[in-house]
Amino acid sequence: VLHVDHVQGDPFAAPSRLCVEVDRRHAGLSAAVDPDDSARLGLEDFLGRSFARAIRRVVAPRRRSRGMGNSGLVEIDAGGQEVLERTAVVVFDEAVEIRFVVGLPARGRTVLGHQAARMLLEQVPQIVQQSLLARAVDQQALALHVRTVVDWTALRGQLRPHGLVAFVADGAVLPRRSGVDPQPLTGESVVPCCSPPELAVELELANGHSVRGMGIPDGVSLIVGGGFHGKSTLLDALALGIYPHIPGDGRERVVARDGVVKVRAEDGRRVAAVDISPFITDLPHSRDVRRFHSDDASGSTSQAANIVEALEMGADALLIDEDTSATNFMVRDRRMQQLVTKDQEPIVPFIDRVRGLHAVHRCSTVMVVGGCGDYFDVADRVIQMDQYQATDVTIRAAQIARQHPSGRADETRLPLASIVSRVPDPRSFDPSKGRRDVKIGARGLREILFGETVLELGALEQMVDPSQTRAIGELIHLYATEYLNRGEGLRSSLERMMSDLQSEGLDVATSHRVGNLALVRSFEVAAAINRMRTLSIEGQS
Ligand code: ADP
Ligand code: MG
């Protein structure tokens, strides 16, 4: 059954939205299907990618309609290296729905009817036949795809019982082809992961087979090593370990707990009533650090706010890279402590808080430090990356710390207090623009247009797909209209929404059926809200 959900006004407008519904009995889904969530996720993802491949075959450039604008386009939101829950493919009990877009062909105001007929009556049916019907589906590839996601899920379930923040299986390939190409690096120079014996653990795949790899334990772990030896590559792989990856990616068996949040400095960001007092005490002009506001935060205050906001949402591990941190936020050494005395420096550096974060807030830290050995004093584990190989240098680092005391004085004055939950003011979320009551959109991966405001998400390194960006825009609106209650904190109200999404599916994010949204965590939704320049905070709960 072909549903036509929306027809575009002209060839330059957003393309028309279609949906194909295939009865489960006709679709090529045999043994791989069961109600288990991760298997369904793998299946949906596989079907979307098969559909995309069929589009490329059937609508090859020379066969594409020659109208203006988007004429002749057929497109599905199939995704990149990560496997995300998407609205593009939904497997229901009875049927499979595939949502995609077509650019109906036209030249100016003239409809190209014959070409439209060919698209809708020949190309679309061929695409469906080649990707969804039983005889076309590559059952072996489907089984591998589903197994990859199911195994990833099984591994992730074992992290917490084993006291692990993350796990990197032996043989995993972490480096990417380039800074703009997320496909795996190939060639002889690639060094696959191999756990040092001290950190090696065995976890079980879904079928009971065990897999060896490096376990990053709870507590404070440092990743040290020379420049260009693979430190950031490892940390970035851990950051994206919150998502399953497609077969062949190299990171199929890299898993991180769902509460892992990568934080960084982000000067210029907006901050609304965040209690940054764990890291920043008195500021010039006695600005309130318990309800810190800024339209233009500094490197250190932005990094402090990013950490406190992550804790507010329940982060249980932070990932921090020196490459993207404010140096003065990370550490003040002995000499600087003597020159600029404590009463002249409002920052309590992270090095003096990292242990407390674990002891008080049960939040672990994994950080890349190539430049500052003072951190040896506060580390449980020190992993050295040497020529892309991990080694455990914990004992040696502890010896060095004893031989060469840093001479630093601890700068904390007060112990860590509990993190408060802020209550947003509902008037912060006005989606209207001009004559339209609701105008929400996304520009690429990094920007959301919400009413009159532009939201910058460039610092959210765990977002991987523009469909997630679009979803956040919709979810902020859903949150403001359905979930934001007077007096309820950001975390509890957002978590109610996310748990409804889990059970009812991402379709509830929009009033009409769309195929271009992908799931995000509550951390990313909160992070987007926190960056709204219109956000005001009513109080605390
Ligand atoms: P660091 O943070 O230690 O300075 P990076 O993680 O940025 O180093 O890595 C430096 C370069 O090495 C990058 O171009 C990256 O793609 C490459 N690289 C990282 N890990 C590996 C590996 N295991 N095998 C081959 N190349 C790698
Ligand atoms: Mg680096």
Q: What is the 3-state secondary structure (H, E, C) of 120-168?
A: HHHHHHHHHHHHCEHHHCCHHHHHHHHHHHHHHHHHHHCCCCCCEEEEE
Measure Cα distances from 431 to 156, 317, 448, 450 in Å: 37, 33, 11, 5
User: What does the angle CA 488 – CA 493 – CA 494 come to, to the nearest 5 degrees?
Assistant: 145
User: From ligand 1's centre to the CA of 204, what distance in Å?
Assistant: 28
Residue 467, C-beta contacts closer than 8 angstroms, at least 6 positions apart: 77, 79, 84, 86, 516, 517, 518
Residue 376, C-beta contacts closer than 8 angstroms, at least 6 positions apart: 222, 382, 397, 398, 400, 401
Cα(first)–Cα(last) distance of the chain, in Å?
50
Question: H or E stretch including 57?
Answer: helix 37-58
**Atom of ligand 1 lying closest to residue 227 CA:** 4
**Atom of ligand 1 lying closest to residue 189 CA:** 25
Partners of 23 in the beta sheet? 95
Q: Which pLDDT value is given to residue 35?
A: 61
**Atom of ligand 1 lying closest to residue 321 CA:** 2
User: From ligand 2's centre to the CA of 231, what distance in Å?
Assistant: 6
Torsions phi, psi for 504 (to 5 deg): -100, -10
Q: Which pLDDT value is given to residue 367?
A: 98
User: From ligand 2's centre to the CA of 232, what distance in Å?
Assistant: 4
User: From ligand 2's centre to the CA of 178, what distance in Å?
Assistant: 14
Nearest to 100 by CA among 64, 135, 128: 128
Q: Is the CB of 191 under 6 A from ligand 1?
A: yes
CA gyration radius for the chain? 25
Strands (DSSP E) found in 288-406: 292-294, 317-321, 364-368, 381-386, 389-392
Report the residue among 233, 320, 383, 386 best suited for mutation to probe ligand 1: largest number of ligand atoms under 8 A from its CB: 233
Residue 282 and residue 278: Cα distance in Å, rounded? 11
Q: Is the CB of 230 under 6 A from ligand 1?
A: yes
Residue 348 and residue 329: Cα distance in Å, rounded? 7
Q: Is the CB of 250 under 6 A from ligand 1?
A: no
Q: Is the CB of 371 under 6 A from ligand 1?
A: no
Residue 351 and residue 329: Cα distance in Å, rounded? 9
**Residue 150 · residue 42 · CB < 8 Å:** yes
Instruction: Give the residue, by CA position, lying nearest to ligand 1 atom 27.
Output: 175
**Residue 322 · residue 374 · CB < 8 Å:** no
Partners of 294 in the beta sheet? 271
User: From ligand 1's centre to the CA of 529, what distance in Å?
Assistant: 33
Instruction: Give the residue, by CA position, lying nearest to ligand 1 atom 23.
Output: 191
Instruction: Give the residue, by CA position, lying nearest to ligand 1 atom 11.
Output: 228
User: From ligand 2's centre to the CA of 227, what distance in Å?
Assistant: 7
Instruction: Give the residue, by CA position, lying nearest to ligand 1 atom 5.
Output: 230
Q: Is the CB of 231 under 6 A from ligand 1?
A: yes
Residue by residue, what is the 3-state secondary structure of 218-232? CCEEEEEECCCCCHH
Measure Cα distances from 365 to 218, 237, 416 in Å: 8, 15, 16
User: From ligand 2's centre to the CA of 280, what distance in Å?
Assistant: 26
Structure tokens, 516: 């271009």
Angle subtended by helix axes 466-478 and 522-530, to nearest 10: 70
Nearest to 524 by CA among 480, 483, 464: 464
User: From ligand 2's centre to the CA of 323, what distance in Å?
Assistant: 6
Nearest to 214 by CA among 389, 17, 451, 470: 389
Q: How many CA atoms lie within 13 A of 488 on its CB side?
A: 15
Q: Is the CB of 386 under 6 A from ligand 1?
A: no
Residue 221 and residue 204: Cα distance in Å, rounded? 24
Q: Is the CB of 229 under 6 A from ligand 1?
A: yes
Nearest to 239 by CA among 225, 220, 217, 259: 259
**Atom of ligand 1 lying closest to residue 229 CA:** 3
Q: How many CA atoms lie within 13 A of 363 on its CB side?
A: 28
Instruction: Give the residue, by CA position, lying nearest to ligand 1 atom 7.
Output: 232
DSSP one-letter string for 428-483: G----BTTBS--EEEETTTEEEETTEEEE-TT-TT---HHHHHHHHHHHHHIIIII
Q: Which pLDDT value is given to residue 434?
A: 94
Residue 73 and residue 53: Cα distance in Å, rounded? 14
Strands (DSSP E) found in 47-144: 74-75, 89-91, 95-102, 106-107, 110-111
pTM for this model (two decimals): 0.96
> What pLDDT tens digit does each residue of the chain (541 aa) get?
999 999 999 999 999 999 999 998 888 675 555 666 899 999 999 999 999 999 999 998 777 777 899 999 999 999 999 999 999 999 988 889 999 999 999 998 899 999 999 999 999 999 999 999 888 889 899 999 999 999 999 999 999 999 999 999 999 999 999 999 999 999 999 999 999 999 999 999 999 999 999 999 999 999 999 999 999 999 999 999 999 999 999 999 999 999 999 999 999 999 999 999 999 988 877 789 999 999 999 999 999 999 999 999 999 999 999 999 999 999 999 999 999 998 888 999 999 999 999 999 999 999 999 999 999 999 999 999 999 999 999 999 999 999 999 999 999 888 888 898 999 999 999 999 999 999 999 999 999 999 999 999 999 999 999 999 999 999 999 999 999 988 899 999 999 999 999 999 999 999 999 999 999 999 999 999 999 999 999 988 8
Residue 200 and residue 302: Cα distance in Å, rounded? 36
**Atom of ligand 1 lying closest to residue 236 CA:** 6
Partners of 455 in the beta sheet? 448
Report the residue among 191, 228, 231, 240 best suited for mutation to probe ligand 1: largest number of ligand atoms under 8 A from its CB: 228
